[in-house]
Amino acid sequence: MNRKAVLTLGTTVALASLGIGAAQAQQYYPVPQPPTAQPAGCPQRGILQNGTPGNDTINGTALSDVIFGRAGNDRINGLAGNDCLFGEAGVDRITAADGNDLALGADGNDIITGGLGDDTLLGEAGNDRLDGGGARDRLSGGTGSDKVTGGSGNDTLTGASGNDRLTGDSGNDRIDGGAGNDRLSGVSGNDRITGGSGNDTLLGGANPDNLSGGSGNDAINSRDGRRDTVTCGTGRDRVTADRIDRVSRNCERVTRR
């Protein structure tokens, strides 16, 4: 690959001149505006690939890719580089792989998997499954009842609406269930877990955590042998805690062991 190539703004460049094979012979385009607000880190220029109304398999390159699946049940693989991957309509499977990537499912019950970089994974509509993988990721299930796992690294998980299942896994995570009756688990790390509205279940994990139930009738379990901080909010809440935990007075039913 020719890493010294100069790409001039407003022009297109054949990928063959960059050392990319004929099977990947797209062109280098300015990136169009994505379906939602473009977050920081999405490349302003990239190798643009568009799917069809059918069920497509689209593979990225070692450079920065921008891939639109369009309609259909698509498989999109970002591969290396900092990519922007959009499933759009249909039930899509998106794999970000290496690099700091943005992956957005849009409509459908999508499966979105991050990789080794700091990824942003957005499920949008539908009952989605998101897994951040390694590094420091930002994951949001969007509308629908989603299953979101942070993976390793210090991640931020948001459920939005729907009855979601959010699991921080390893790392110091921030978990917010949003609306709906959610199940929120910190696992390991020093986590900050917020239930939001709805009747939520909060599970701290193996390190000192901060758990806040929010509104609704919540069940909070902070028993892990470490000193956690528990706040309940409105509703009639149930807390199972260690004797060393700090539990606020607005928690109605508290069992210490």
Q: pLDDT tens, 4-48? A: 444 444 444 444 444 444 333 333 444 444 444 444 456 666 788
The domain segmentation of the chain, as residue ranges, is 41-109, 136-256
> Are 106 and 87 in contact, with CB atoms under 8 Å apart?
yes
pTM comes to 0.84
User: In angstroms, rounded to a whole number, what is the distance separating the alpha carbons of residues 97 and 78?
Assistant: 6
Phi, psi of 23 (to 5 degrees): -65, -20
Strand (E) or helix (H) holding 46:
strand 45-50
Maximum average pLDDT range among 17-31, 46-60, 186-200? 186-200
Helices (H) and strands (E) in the chain, counts: 0, 25
* Contact present, 89 and 73 (Cβ < 8 Å): no
Q: Which residues pair with 241 in a beta bridge?
A: 256
Structure confidence by residue, pLDDT tens digits, 69-124: 989 999 999 999 999 999 999 999 999 988 999 999 988 999 999 999 999 999 99
Q: Do 72 and 90 touch, CB atoms closer than 8 A?
A: yes
CA angle 62, 67, 70 (to 5 degrees): 155
- Specify the pLDDT at position 160: 87
Is residue 210 predicted with pLDDT exceeding 50?
yes
- 160-189 pLDDT tens trace: 889 999 999 999 999 999 999 999 999 999
In the prediction, which pLDDT does 203 show? 98
pLDDT of residue 257: 84
CB-CB contact of 228 with 246 (8 Å): yes
Contacts of 240 (CB under 8 A, 6+ apart): 219, 220, 221, 222, 223, 255, 257
Q: Picking from 30-34, 127-131, 199-203, which range would have the lowest pLDDT averaged per residue? A: 30-34
